[in-house]
Amino acid sequence: MKDIYQRKIDYLRLSLTDRCQLRCHYCMPDEGVEWTPLDQLLSFAEIKSIVQTFAELGVSKLKLTGGEPLLRPNIVTLISELKAIKGIEEVTLTTNGVQLAEMIDELVEAGLDGVNISLDTLDENRYTLLTRRNKLDAVLTGLERAIKSKIKQVKINCVLAEEINKDEILAIAQLAKNSRVHVRFIEYMPIGAPKPLTPISEEYVRQLLSQHYGPVKPYDIKLGNGPARYDEIAGFQGKIGFISAVSHHFCDTCNRVRITSDGFLKTCLYFNKGVDIKSAIKAGNLQECILEALQQKPKQHRFSSNDEYGSREKKSMVQIGG
Ligand code: SAM
Ligand code: SF4
């Protein structure tokens, strides 16, 4: 399926819940988030019907997100059912990693192809300040178990910002040297944070890495679903990726749409536009509704613009799914 700018859409990010055990500063406020009532979350039957319809339209890659997707009861069963849908080639998950250690084996058994673990700091105090919860040990154990498990791909998502982790870039990159993980440095996006953070450029990171580890060379083989650009460094087991949505926007190759946990189809992270997909299921016109929404997919986001565009997204990242 293609949008009006001829971009091929083959990747769906689906949020399973807007709840989370952590409270990362850049993603959500500590208090005051209104959770979606549980009975308004998409049911498994609705999720399967949505994924089936997207698969018929050409989507082959699915990312489960949240909130924290591992908090959704029976997610293991859901994954095996989604993997069985014709046309779905890859089901992956992005998680804070808190419950990963105890779940990784059954997730792999269910057919999960890859896991992205969010990890912005290796320092316990800093982690606790950033996420407002003391869970670093559990996350590191989850990461270790994922690396040792049979899962095909393990990635670390690290949001970089001056205020968070500028002095830890090398330590975090080192994880890709010592183990089979790809480390992706994500530029902070101005969604959800009460006060803006100062991004760190990928050029700065590359220079720092090359000073310490030698040449950092572009790695042209595709490693994931989306916009990350990867580099390789001799002696590293994993690659180093960059997702710089603001400074190096990749809108012209955007291949994705998103569905929130309460069933709102978003065609761009930045804008609040979209359609209520639950009503479409009830009305029996899901496919038409998706195709119509796709025609509205904007050409590009406006993160770097200072104007107050009327339909700028006001939801927190936790409510959207990242
Ligand atoms: N709880 C899961 C996790 O942390 O991976 C899944 C949901 S989380 C919203 C998905 C991703 O969005 C995480 O990697 C997180 O670091 C990222 N994220 C959240 N807020 C962000 C922001 N303002 N800018 C850039 N990335 C953000
Ligand atoms: Fe939770 Fe993930 Fe948002 Fe952190 S980034 S608050 S772990 S949803």
With a 6 Å cutoff on the Cβ, whether 153 touches ligand 1 is no
Closest listed residue to residue 32, CA positions, set 320, 290, 280, 316: 316
Nearest protein Cα to ligand 1, atom 25 = 188
Question: Who's near 282: CB < 8 A, 6+ residues apart?
Answer: none
- The total of other beta-carbon atoms located within 10 Å of residue 43's CB is 13
Closest atom of ligand 2 relative to the 21 alpha carbon: 1
Nearest protein Cα to ligand 1, atom 7 = 66
What's the gap in Å between 22 CA and the centre of ligand 1? 11
Task: Please tell me the CATH code under which domain 11-320 is placed.
Answer: 3.20.20.70
pLDDT at residue 267, rounded to an integer? 86
Q: What is the mean pLDDT of residues 69-88?
A: 98
pLDDT tens, 10-27? 999 999 999 999 999 999
The amino acid at 254: C
pLDDT at 309 over 50: no
Note the ligand closest to the C-alpha atom of 33. Answer: 2
pLDDT at residue 192, rounded to an integer? 59
More confident residue, 145 or 312: 145
Q: What is the mean pLDDT of the chain?
A: 91
Closest atom of ligand 1 relative to the 187 alpha carbon: 25
Nearest protein Cα to ligand 2, atom 4 = 24
Q: Which residues of 232-248 are buried (b: 16+ CB within 10 A; e: fewer)?
A: bbeebebbbbbbbbeee
pLDDT at residue 142, rounded to an integer? 98
pLDDT tens, 224-262? 776 788 999 999 999 999 998 777 777 878 888 999 999
Nearest protein Cα to ligand 1, atom 1 = 68
Of 72-76, 193-197, 227-231, 289-293, least confident by mean pLDDT is 193-197
With a 6 Å cutoff on the Cβ, whether 121 touches ligand 1 is no
The answer to whether the beta carbons of residues 110 and 104 sit under 8 Å apart is no
SS3 149: coil
Domain-wise residue ranges, the chain: 11-320
pLDDT at residue 191, rounded to an integer? 75
Match 């975090």 to its residue by tokens. Answer: 172
Half-sphere exposure in the Cβ direction for 93 (13 Å, CA): 32
Closest listed residue to residue 264, CA positions, set 50, 58, 70: 50
